[in-house]
Structure 1
Amino acid sequence: MTDEELKVALVEGINCVGCGVQLQTEHKGELGFTPMSALKKGLETDEVYCQRCFRLRHYNEIQPVSLTDDDFRRLLGQIADTKSLIVYVVDIFDFTGSLIPGLHRFVGDNPVLLVGNKADVMPSSLKRTKLTDWMRQQANINGIRPIDVALVSAAKNHSIDQLLAKIDKYRDGRDVYVVGVTNVGKSTLINAIIKQQTGIQDLITTSRFPGTTLDKIEIPFDDNTSLIDTPGIIHQDQMAHYLGAKELKYVSPQKELKPVVFQLNAEQTLFFGGLARLDFVQGERSPFVAYFENNLMIHRTKLANADNFYEKHAGELLVPPTSDEMTNFPALQRHEFRTKVKSDIVINGLGWVTVPANVTVAGWAPKGVSVLVRAAMI
Structure 2
Amino acid sequence: MENNEELFCIGCGSKIQSENKDELGYTPQSAIEKGLETDELYCQRCFRLRHYNEIADVSLTDDDFLRLLNQIGSSDALIVNVIDIFDFNGSIIPGLHRFVGDNEILLVGNKVDLLPKSVKRSKVKDWLRQEANKQGLRPVDVMLTSASKGYEVDELLDLINKYRKGRDVYVVGVTNVGKSTLINKIIQQQTGINELITTSRFPGTTLDKIEIPFDDDKNLIDTPGIIHNYQMAHFLKGKSLKFASPKKEIKPKVYQLNEGQTIFLGALARFDYISGGKTGVVAYLDNDLMLHRTKTENADKFYEKHAGGLLQPPYNDEMNDFPELVRFEFKITEKSDIVFSGLGWITVKENTIVAGWAPKGVSVVVRRAMV
Is 1:150 the counterpart of 2:168? The answer is no
List gaps (5 residues or longer) in structure 1: 1-5, 205-212
Tell me which of 355, 364, 367 is aligned to 1:362.
355
TM-score by structure 1 length? 0.85
1:31: Cα distance to partner?
Answer: 8.5
**Distance (Å, rounded) in 2 between the aligned partners of 1:356 and 1:52:** 48
Tell me which of 216, 221, 242 is aligned to 2:214.
221
Match of 2:78 in 1: 85
Is 1:257 the counterpart of 2:250? The answer is yes
Superposed, 1:198-277 pairs within 5 Å as 198-200=191-193, 203=196, 215-277=208-270
Choose 286-295 or 246-255, whichever is displaced more: 246-255
Tell me which of 304, 310, 324 is aligned to 1:331.
324
Residues 84, 54 of structure 1: CA spacing in aligned structure 2 closer, same or farther, 3 A cutoff? Answer: closer
**Aligned residues between the structures:** 352
Is 1:34 the counterpart of 2:26? The answer is yes
Is 1:182 the counterpart of 2:155? The answer is no
* SS in structure 1 of the partner of residue 316 of structure 2: coil
Is 1:135 the counterpart of 2:128? The answer is yes
Match of 2:100 in 1: 107
**Distance (Å, rounded) in 2 between the aligned partners of 1:113 and 1:55:** 27
Deviation track 1:308-364 (CA, whole Å, cap 9, x = no partner) reads 111111111111110001000000000110011111000100000001111111100
Match of 2:202 in 1: none
Contact 1:72 1:231 (8 Å CA) reproduced:
no
- Identity over the aligned pairs, expressed in percent? 64
The amino acid that maps onto 2:42 is Y
* SS in structure 2 of the partner of residue 247 of structure 1: helix
Contact 2:65 2:226 (8 Å CA) reproduced:
yes
**Distance (Å, rounded) in 2 between the aligned partners of 1:31 and 1:158:** 39
**Distance (Å, rounded) in 2 between the aligned partners of 1:155 and 1:284:** 42
* SS in structure 1 of the partner of residue 208 of structure 2: coil
1:34: Cα distance to partner?
Answer: 2.9
Residues 137, 61 of structure 1: CA spacing in aligned structure 2 closer, same or farther, 3 A cutoff? Answer: closer
**Distance (Å, rounded) in 2 between the aligned partners of 1:46 and 1:83:** 38
Tell me which of 120, 129, 147 is aligned to 2:113.
120
Is 1:340 the counterpart of 2:344? The answer is no
1:198: Cα distance to partner?
Answer: 2.3
Superposition CA RMSD, Å: 3.2
**Distance (Å, rounded) in 1 between the aligned partners of 2:341 and 2:224:** 20
Contact 2:16 2:43 (8 Å CA) reproduced:
no
Tell me which of 290, 294, 297 is aligned to 2:287.
294
* SS in structure 2 of the partner of residue 123 of structure 1: coil
**Distance (Å, rounded) in 2 between the aligned partners of 1:145 and 1:283:** 36
Residues 64, 109 of structure 1: CA spacing in aligned structure 2 closer, same or farther, 3 A cutoff? Answer: closer
Contact 1:191 1:202 (8 Å CA) reproduced:
no
1:157: Cα distance to partner?
Answer: 0.4
1:197: Cα distance to partner?
Answer: 2.0
Contact 1:191 1:201 (8 Å CA) reproduced:
no
Match of 1:163 in 2: 156
